Amino acid sequence: MSHAGVRQFAGGYVGVDVFFVISGFLITSLLLRELAATGSVSVRGFYARRALRLLPASSLVVVVTLGGAWLFLSKIRFQEYVGDAVSSVLYVVNFRLAGEGTDYLAEGSPPSPFQHFWSLAVEEQFYLLWPLLLLGSWKLVRRRRLLAVPLAGLCAVSFWLSVSVTESSGPWAYFGSHTRFWELGAGALLALGAGRLRRLPGVVAALMTWAGLGCVLLAAVWFDARTPFPGSHAALPVVGALLVLGGGCAPARFDARPLLAWRPVTWVGGGSYGWYLWHWPLLLIGPQALGRPAGVRLGLALCGVALVLAWVTTRLVENPVRFHRVFRGRPGRALGLGLGVSAGAGGGAVGGGGGAAAAGVFWCIGGRGWARCLWRCYVRRSAPVRPRPCCGRSWRRRRTRRRGWLSC
């Protein structure tokens, strides 16, 4: 609602902070579960799951958004948008925005349609480090309590940087990963202590959930574009999210679960990733495409359209890829898919040929059948074409009775 222009929720940008905490908590919980079951963490499998979860949908949105920018936005700034698109594919757009001095909360200058990818970039930069840090700490100490020590130190340094950099450089404080890691780390620390939180008294747990929701809502209606953010102000939504998650570890009567488990809320939550991807490009490109001035009503309508697109993307792109049987227990193929679609999106952004680039990546890492499929279905739709191998591997023909968009 903040992006749509609803002034009563001018601080809606704190939703990113809440998202960081939830992400750190959930992902760390999954890593700890794997650590307890197997005694180790498959870093390759972790990155493969991330690739299947994020890259197909995000690459699709990058390509569609770039096409919309070419058709309806400023041609003078198109090369800038191309750079933003490539940075988004590489998950470094936050550094690009910070280096350019972008003011996320400014109302006068038209922002980039790829600007919202900064939070996804920060998240993935954190997860480049955290699984390795977790695994290394486990190998050294073998005690769950001590796993929190290096992470707590990282969070303390990151929070200090958030406060100090906010005073000196707003763009770097807002977009920088070094000023945001503490929010993801706070969720991870909560996951490390979730076992003890399950023994909380029911009254305390219930109060924690409602108090946490109150903190998040207060930040959303109290903060605005003039609030120096993140800095110390980010502590309010972060603490609120921690209270909700911590209280939820000990389910109790009269807590906030009935509200948070309400079916419309869970339905929106299930498509939240796609909604996040689509809403910002539509809010930027939609008014230009329709020839209408941006306003609250149009913004809310475009957010509704983005929610529909999110549902379609989840059903037709994200879930079919994420749960396809060919990727089960085969992280190499999943990583190949991620590299392929990223290469396709990046190649298409810098001048076309994205499908060929993706096919080449698939072929080199061993996904020869997938490269052939991508080449046939998206680049050469007519006669079957066998790409020339670029790493000396022999061709092996595969037959399948079931034909779909993943098999030709």
Give tens-digit pLDDT for 358-395. Answer: 444 434 433 444 444 444 443 443 333 444 443 334 33
Of 132-136, 237-241, 334-338, 364-368, the one with minimum mean pLDDT is 364-368
Residue 260 within any structural domain of the chain: yes
- Let me know whether 121 and 53 are in one domain: yes
Report the share of the chain in percent with pLDDT over 90: 49
- Mean pLDDT (the chain) is 82
pLDDT of residue 392: 38
**Residue 244 and residue 302 share a domain:** no
161 located within any domain? yes
In which band, very low, low, confident or very high, does the pLDDT at 26 lie, cut at 50, 70 and 90? very high
DSSP of 235-249: HHHHHHHHHHHHHHT
pLDDT in the model for residue 330? 75
Q: For the residues 178-203, what does the mean pLDDT come to? A: 92
pLDDT > 70: percent of the chain: 81
Whether residue 342 sits in one domain with residue 264: no
Predicted confidence at residue 362, as pLDDT, reads: 39
Q: What was the pLDDT predicted at 375?
A: 43
Residue 295, pLDDT score: 87
Asked if the structure places residue 211 within a domain, the reply is: yes
Q: How many Cβ atoms sit within 10 Å of the Cβ of residue 359?
A: 27
- Residues 206 and 299 reside in one and the same domain: no
* 41 and 97 belong to one structural domain: yes
Eight-state DSSP code of residue 407? B
Q: How many domains are contained in the chain?
A: 2
Summarize pLDDT for 152-181 with one digit per residue, the tens: 999 999 999 999 999 988 899 999 999 999
Across residues 244-258, what is the average pLDDT? Answer: 89
- Boundary-marking domain end, from 211, 238, 273: 273
pLDDT given for residue 327 in this prediction? 78
* CA nearest to 362, candidates 338, 397, 378: 338
- Report how far apart, in Å, the C-alpha atoms of 208 and of each of 12, 76, 241, 269, 377 are: 21, 51, 10, 21, 52
- Res 404 pLDDT > 50: no
396 or 134: which leads in pLDDT: 134
Q: Which of 246, 273, 300 is the last residue of a domain?
A: 273
Residue 136 lies in a domain: yes
In angstroms, the CA 269 to CA 350 distance is 33
pLDDT of 344 reads: 67
404: which strand partners? 407
pLDDT over 90 (residue 28): yes
Give the lowest-confidence range in 161-165, 243-247, 337-341, 376-380: 376-380
Q: Are residues 242 and 165 in the same domain?
A: yes
21-30, 197-206, 299-308, 384-393: segment of lowest average pLDDT: 384-393
Mean pLDDT of 399-407: 38
pLDDT-based confidence at 61, cuts 50/70/90? Answer: very high
If asked whether residues 306 and 268 sit together in one domain, one would say no
Are both 145 and 183 inside the same structural domain?
Answer: yes
pLDDT given at position 398? 43
pLDDT at 29: 94
**Domain annotation covers residue 374:** yes
Tell me: do 316 and 344 sit in the same domain: yes
Query: 346 phi and psi, to 5 degrees?
Result: -65, -40
Residue 253 or 84, more confident: 84
d(CA 330, CA 2): 41
- Distance from C-alpha of 204 to C-alpha of 341, rounded to nearest angstrom: 47
pLDDT at 278: 96
Same domain, 215 and 177: yes
Q: What pLDDT was estimated at residue 101? A: 79
Instruction: Kindly report the backbone phi and psi dihedral angles of residue 404, in degrees, each rounded to the nearest multiple of 5, phi listed first.
Output: -150, -175
Domain membership flag for residue 243: yes
Domain that holds residue 302: 283-379
**Per the domain annotation, does 33 fall within a domain?**
yes
Residue 393 lies in a domain: no
On whether both 170 and 235 belong to a single domain, the answer is yes
> pLDDT-based confidence at 143, cuts 50/70/90?
confident
Residue 346 Cα to chain centre, angstroms = 18
Please check whether residue 185 is in contact with residue 158, taking contact to mean a CB–CB distance below 8 angstroms. yes
Closest CA to 7 of 308, 300, 292, 282: 300
Q: What is the mean pLDDT of residues 51-79?
A: 91
User: What local confidence, expressed as pLDDT, does residue 400 receive?
Assistant: 40
Q: According to the model, what pLDDT value does residue 391 have? A: 39
Please tell me the pTM assigned to this model.
0.82
Q: Which residue has the higher pLDDT, 381 or 295?
A: 295
Together in a domain, 94 and 118: yes
Residue bearing the bigger pLDDT, 31 or 405: 31
